[in-house]
Structure 1
């Protein structure tokens, strides 16, 4: 089985994922959002790209100032012949009953599209480009995650609040990605983050202070659990304890927040191994479930089945669910474990909270389609040719 890490950040301010897994293949995708200021919305790129600080006045999913995006995922395990079918328009799943704090599930398809991202910058500046209509309609107009990959304790509260308050005014649910865990990407291309776990705990507290009181989805630290084999046993225990505190802090700040912990993807660890790590990180008590496939390419059906196995192995509570990154998995994983802007990939199912799948709370675009893993363009930067290929599925 090809192992693969899920995300990576571009060197600089933001993201990345390191592979430090037992396998012959590099499990990670290298392109997380780079961060110069504050990462702004966008599905995870193969690598992170620096994002601008979200404008406090923004309130609707309309284009605004430019901003970079998120990170990518890793290679896949095995290919499937059939393509994923369009997302089912079935009604949103009922609110889960959990033994943890009372938290409401996101309603309908009202996910938030932040008006600042690299693709929106390109769309606004290239209205006469023949690729414009397809990139705009199939990528730029979709809601995507907003990454926060810079360790900026003095500014992160305001940056988070600018996104959550705008989303709340618009009556929509934002997807936020805190990405500042110490030792991020195991020191690889997306290395960075807080200087130590004490600093990280304080940073997460400041991040949580900006959540407000509306519904929000938090994809907590991609690769922080699946990509922890590079740490010593003691370092891993300390990181997992910090993630548990982060989940508790986020829920305490906003009881309506839904916090998902890292489950890697179906081509990486076994469900039993991943569930054991999640259990050690407090996912049973301090999360609303797990996320998979960030910046990767595995088929949605494979990820849903894998997520259900992980949740079953985790052992409860029964209300836990999963969210899946479907931003680039329309044609499934590439052959040979390729992960860097592989050819022949396609956009996956549109972001939605109405999946029609048991235990699957949402399909999200965590990685921003078109942001390069570092082969078709500089890591973490928007590459229109790549975006156009994904939009066409070629």
Structure 2
């Protein structure tokens, strides 16, 4: 699903100067690390059916494809619920959340259906009235399952109120409070975050007052920088000020989520459709190494337009390539130095099928293990983890035999080919070189019935 793109206003020249002063500290902030975030831990879910994934699949020979595939399509991003449809949204949410749960990953949802959203700007739309809006939210809540899910409720709904009368502001605040409570009641493990604008919009004190009025006491925290370009360092500093202001008003224990999808380069005006100085920022993760920040999320999917040059929410490969072309490669995971001391707080509703399928690596070798991370009538999703042996490797090739009736339809994080019943996956540009004991993953979608294959890994 494509997202709409809320307009993200700036405040003053002084605010812009503050962003520039801190931008160097925030560019390419490390997304990895062993420390978890404030209240969330675990891997974020990568939806295989996104606009960028579909474009990559349909354009294998485009000169931009490798960069867009390796640096954008390979990453998790939030699923936007922006096409208002009361009758079908529960099934959509249930399918998306269920796939994430089956994969043992954390789904991320952005709800964007409030009446009079974006004050009638480029992303106008939403529910016709607040009663219908609450019916929509109630149906979303019924599809959330019972495991951790991150919910970003209504971008711009609190920071942007210039088009609303005082009575309309109060009605919206009441609607957001009710929506938060409805979502939390539907899934007590849901993490719900409210709109905080960004570091060059409203002041922390002003935004704290608005968040209190909108019911943040019932929420888990707030998010900032959605569809914007302010540095992570600036947003984190703004978040600390906002948390302090909330604490002073009796709303303690709140955490921040930061949209890092496009904040690795220049800041400036709200539109990114024709600015070639913008870059993707920190890769999505819950390991923020900051107790105040639950996650860095790609809320605005990189490559989707803002609405000033192209239609809001439409995927534009030129935008995606510009954001990713000079960005660093995604991190390659390495084994932790110590084992976790506590088990995960949630588990998949259905246990994934996992089996080690090659011998433990020795020397400059590699091993591979397979996991069925989702299945449905007529198809399944598989993930393969490659692990280097006791010496570093510069590349890897994985092969296995497809069972009868199986055919691969899509792959990510690996160059995958088939010849007859033999499937072969090779590393892409950024995940072939692994340190001793280092790991990486690739995944695929396939038609047919899932099975556990015997996999061979060969290192280079």
Per the normalisation by structure 2, the TM-score is 0.66
Cα contact 1:76–1:266 (8 A) shared by 2: no
* Map of 1:197 onto structure 2: 130
Distance apart, 1:195 and its partner CA: 0.9
* Map of 1:322 onto structure 2: 256
| Aligned mate of 1:131, from 64, 78, 92 | 64
Cα contact 1:134–1:391 (8 A) shared by 2: yes
Do structure 1's residue 187 and structure 2's residue 120 form an aligned pair? yes
Do structure 1's residue 89 and structure 2's residue 9 form an aligned pair? no
Distance apart, 1:226 and its partner CA: 0.4
* Map of 2:239 onto structure 1: 307
Question: Aligned equivalents of 2:154 and 2:177: distance in 1?
Answer: 12
| Aligned mate of 1:231, from 159, 164, 167 | 164
Question: Aligned equivalents of 1:213 and 1:358: distance in 2?
Answer: 24
Cα contact 1:138–1:391 (8 A) shared by 2: yes
Cα contact 2:123–2:312 (8 A) shared by 1: no
Distance apart, 1:22 and its partner CA: 9.2
* Map of 1:359 onto structure 2: 292
Distance apart, 1:308 and its partner CA: 1.4
Question: Aligned equivalents of 2:243 and 2:96: distance in 1?
Answer: 30
Aligned residues: 321
Distance apart, 1:300 and its partner CA: 0.1
Distance apart, 1:79 and its partner CA: 1.7
Distance apart, 1:201 and its partner CA: 1.1
Cα contact 1:76–1:267 (8 A) shared by 2: no
Match of 1:147, SS?
strand
| Aligned mate of 1:172, from 98, 105, 110 | 105
Distance apart, 1:377 and its partner CA: 3.9
After TM superposition, list the pairs within 5 Å mapping 1:111-130 onto structure 2.
Answer: 111-130=44-63
Structure 1: gaps of 5 or more residues = 1-9, 28-74, 96-104
Distance apart, 1:343 and its partner CA: 1.9
Question: Aligned equivalents of 2:48 and 2:35: distance in 1?
Answer: 27
Question: Aligned equivalents of 1:124 and 1:197: distance in 2?
Answer: 39
* Bigger relative CO (Cα 8 Å, ≥ 6 apart): 1
Range with greater deviation from structure 2 (376-385 or 317-326): 376-385
* Map of 1:391 onto structure 2: 324
Distance apart, 1:23 and its partner CA: 5.4
Q: Whose strand fraction is larger, Structure 1's or Structure 2's?
A: 2
Question: Aligned equivalents of 1:385 and 1:337: distance in 2?
Answer: 18
Do structure 1's residue 17 and structure 2's residue 6 form an aligned pair? yes
Per the normalisation by structure 1, the TM-score is 0.76
Distance apart, 1:290 and its partner CA: 0.3
The CA RMSD measured in Å over matched residues stands at 2.4
Range with greater deviation from structure 2 (310-319 or 178-187): 310-319
Do structure 1's residue 291 and structure 2's residue 280 form an aligned pair? no
Match of 1:15, SS?
coil
Question: Aligned equivalents of 1:380 and 1:181: distance in 2?
Answer: 17
Structure 2: gaps of 5 or more residues = 328-460
Distance apart, 1:125 and its partner CA: 1.0
| Aligned mate of 1:331, from 233, 248, 265 | 265
Label 1:322 to 1:263 Cα distance change in 2 as closer, same or farther (>3 A).
same
Distance apart, 1:15 and its partner CA: 3.1
Question: Aligned equivalents of 2:66 and 2:294: distance in 1?
Answer: 30
Cα contact 2:11–2:201 (8 A) shared by 1: no
After TM superposition, list the pairs within 5 Å mapping 1:142-291 onto structure 2.
Answer: 142-284=75-217, 286-291=218-223
Range with greater deviation from structure 2 (118-127 or 379-388): 379-388
Label 1:239 to 1:295 Cα distance change in 2 as closer, same or farther (>3 A).
same
Cα deviation 1:133-182 (Å, max 9, x = unaligned): 11101000100000011221111111110100111011110000111001
Question: Aligned equivalents of 1:348 and 1:392: distance in 2?
Answer: 12
Distance apart, 1:24 and its partner CA: 7.7
Range with greater deviation from structure 2 (85-94 or 145-154): 85-94
Cα deviation 1:173-209 (Å, max 9, x = unaligned): 0000111001111111211111111111111111111
